[in-house]
Chains A and B, each alone.
Chain A
């Protein structure tokens, strides 16, 4: 059943989109939410379609694409978008594939890209699919369930802060590498339209309900009731690892094994308050990829490792995290497609330079 997403839903969406996002999360300056809010005010609410409704709504030859910001969030705050990048990328992609997409989907309904997808749908006047390709944030554009389903990110179009338009038309599997080069020259971020595909195929390949889950999480966080970590874990089908205080945040010199991940590894050590003497170690490679409790592996990517601040009741961003901060650590299971062999290869710990057997395997 489609629904209209208007300005009144943005607070929940904004807060909920931060969950499970460690390095591209809640350092909001306010400009992003004001921009999305203005888009909705000017262009009206966005129609949100659940993937189950796609077959009834679109024909087999009607196309969709994903929209999202690719690159550095910090760079985007330094050089904010002008506002029409989503339109330009959407239109240019339409020209490249010879047809205008009929709807958009978030590349990932997490962090800033959840909001950008809403703005893109509003600005281009198309419906928004309630699904995404990651179910969380992965750093590479081909770490998606779309790619697992055989869809290719290219052709793609990225529009940068200086108005550069980067287009990629390449053989399958090369888009990530090529866009990464474009990013460096364009100024650190590209508003990107990608994964052009028939709407039905894109919807089937995506993780359903991603946007709705953001809004649910936002509502829970804003409710102000209960043990927030345990509550979220229970509501979202996850499990609580523990609560504690940050004892150390250290950049690591070693990756483990060679990896194409762009960021330097970081280790977060948490002294558990619920079990004194015990420590939680979270290995971060762009995003949290491994949780150890006293050296025992309790969770790995692709499951989503989430940190929330139980006092301020919001998701934790690594940039805001300090020694002594209280955090709840819990794990949300990834979509079952991530737990296939291909999914593990694409987004399991080894893909992040952590050569551990996937946690599911050991269970």
Chain B
């Protein structure tokens, strides 16, 4: 092999410095990592350094390894001979002038606290068999990578073990990496795509390698491939663990709230482990998706933040539940069993706090627009929590259909809307449509239905209905006249309750249809 070819295939100083034998060797100044190393020489006569061929790492033997004069002379010779590194046993603190000399001449000086002959002996085969050393580097990286639990630590391991390599995890096909390199620096890129197994889309590992030989680029590529597998495995493991935890929590919440689960030791123990407190007064809230989007509820996993002083989020129904402790209605303010103030808020205060926090999550956490939030009534104990959660579901549904209800309405304040949302069942829905069938062909059916519901809410008062609807009273009179003409029994006392309920249910349905239409329009790609 020619000297040139030998130099090209040689391992670099950076690889050598990161090898196992050099683990305890401290090197200053920071070496140029891409310097090829063709030989390691143990030297017991400093004059031998003058005869070393370029590319030789010099390991000084004691006693000259520990004397300031001899290390200084070795550094000087190394500078004259363009040797990549000198390893000695001179405490940098005790010989600052030698360190200064090494820095001034830019000759990396290593301090090895151990046996220098053993070090040279261990380094020699690494330099003599560069292919084996590269394989060893890949193996060492693989071992270290396989111990990591997340992508960032995997990347850190790569940075630590592969000199002169800048590695990033990024979406495939993005523009140039923003790292700036000195002018004239030979930088090459190695890319390993994640492929179809990537749960987050098409990502890739990209390494920018400064001054690497083809053999070194192959090492980088191998390491990135191993890193890719570990990152995918870590992420899959995280997803599985998260999913299992969510499912466990969801199941546990149902057990606790619906089936007196706390009477069972296993359920009680699991609830304790999760830190759940379901004694005393409780108020629940919900971040909810519409029923038709129930399958997408897991998309909010990991997105929803915690709320101070509240438990959650825990998957519940078509959304995620939170609850917080408060004083029950029959409890006096804030004194615990040991006489110390318990610091619990009142029920109303807890409801407000939860409503504000949920409203902030809905608006600020980057959630889909079809997410709604609601707060339940106050409950007591596990059963009370279950009831509060059910009320929160209704309040959230009411909020979705009644924008005027606010971002996170409280069940107790929503009134009939929440009840009607609950009454919107498959049995009643066809009946409501049949009662209002005469209006089905009208273009303004939604306005007419809403007018009927409001008119009846106001006890047949045209003036109050007009105020509630925000229209002129003649408009209300006109609409009601048309309704009567079309055969809707507005004035029949025996059928008025049915008509009143049917009008509210149909109004809800029509609003829900309108909201869904709006959402579809917003989600459609624009040209």
Contacts and interface: CB of A to CB of B under 8 A. Distances in A.
A267 B64 contact: no
B67 A247 contact: no
Residue with the highest number of chain A CB atoms closer than 10 Å, among B62, B79, B101: B101
A295 B68 contact: no
A255 B104 CA distance: 26
Nearest to B95: A250
Interface string B295-337: 0000000000000000000000000000000000000000000
Interface string A247-282: 110101111110000000101010000000101010
Contacts of B69: 256, 267, 281, 283, 290, 292, 354
A140 B46 CA distance: 26
Contacts of B63: 254-257
Contacts of A1: none
Given A250-B94, A356-B46, A295 B67 contact: no
A356 B47 contact: yes
| Chain B residues touching A, range | 20 to 34
B76 A355 contact: no
Residue with the highest number of chain A CB atoms closer than 10 Å, among B45, B96, B97: B97
Interface string A339-358: 00000000000000011110
A351 to B, nearest CB: 15
Interface in B65-95: 66-70, 72-77, 79, 94-95
A295 B73 contact: yes
Nearest to A269: B97
Given A279-B101, A281-B97, A356-B47, A292 B76 contact: yes
B294 interface: no
Contacts of B79: 295
A3 interface: no
Contacts, number: 69
A267 B68 contact: yes
A294 B70 contact: no
A126 interface: no
Contacts of A357: 47
A297 interface: yes
B64 A247 contact: no
A295 B76 contact: yes
A253 B97 contact: no
Contacts of A265: 67
B105 interface: yes
B67 A356 contact: no
A250 B68 contact: yes
B156 interface: no
B236 to A, nearest CB: 56
A97 B100 CA distance: 57
Interface in B91-126: 94-97, 100-101, 104-105
Contacts of A292: 69, 72-73, 76
B67 A355 contact: no
Contacts of B94: 250
Contacts of B74: 295
B64 A355 contact: yes
Contacts of A269: 97
Residue with the highest number of chain B CB atoms closer than 10 Å, among A247, A277, A297: A297
B104 A256 contact: no
Interface string A159-188: 000000000000000000000000000000
Contact of B75 (A277, A290, A295): A295
Nearest to B90: A254
A248 B94 CA distance: 10
Nearest to A247: B97
Residue with the highest number of chain A CB atoms closer than 10 Å, among B69, B74, B96: B69
Contact of B104 (A294, A296, A354, A355): A294
Contacts of B45: 355
Contact of B105 (A281, A290, A294): A294
Contact of B67 (A248, A252, A277): A252
Nearest to A248: B97
A201 B66 CA distance: 44
Contacts of B105: 294-295
A34 B526 CA distance: 110
Contacts of A281: 68-69, 72, 97
Nearest to A293: B76
A279 B101 CA distance: 8
A29 to B, nearest CB: 33
Interface string B367-400: 0000000000000000000000000000000000
A151 B46 CA distance: 34
B67 A256 contact: yes
Nearest to B70: A256
B108 to A, nearest CB: 14
A297 B97 contact: no
Contacts of A257: 63
Contacts of B66: 253-254
A265 B64 CA distance: 13
A279 B67 contact: no
A294 B76 contact: yes
Given A247-B97, A356-B46, A255 B76 contact: no
A253 B67 CA distance: 8
A117 to B, nearest CB: 33
A354 B47 CA distance: 11
Contacts of A247: 97
B215 to A, nearest CB: 34
Contacts of B97: 247-248, 267, 269, 279, 281
B52 to A, nearest CB: 15
A248 B66 CA distance: 17
Interface string A275-315: 00101010100000010101111000000000000000000
Nearest to A271: B97
A252 B67 CA distance: 7
Contacts of B73: 292, 295, 297, 356
Nearest to A296: B76
Interface of B: 45-47, 62-64, 66-70, 72-77, 79, 94-97, 100-101, 104-105
29 contacts: A247-B97, A248-B96, A248-B97, A250-B68, A250-B94, A250-B95, A254-B64, A256-B63, A256-B64, A256-B67, A257-B63, A269-B97, A277-B104, A279-B97, A279-B100, A281-B72, A283-B69, A292-B72, A294-B76, A295-B74, A295-B76, A295-B79, A296-B76, A297-B73, A297-B76, A354-B69, A355-B45, A355-B47, A356-B46
Given A256-B67, A295-B79, 16 more contacts: A247-B97, A254-B63, A254-B64, A265-B67, A267-B95, A279-B97, A281-B68, A281-B69, A281-B97, A283-B68, A283-B69, A292-B76, A295-B75, A354-B70, A355-B45, A355-B46
Interface of A: 247-248, 250, 252-257, 265, 267, 269, 277, 279, 281, 283, 290, 292, 294-297, 354-357
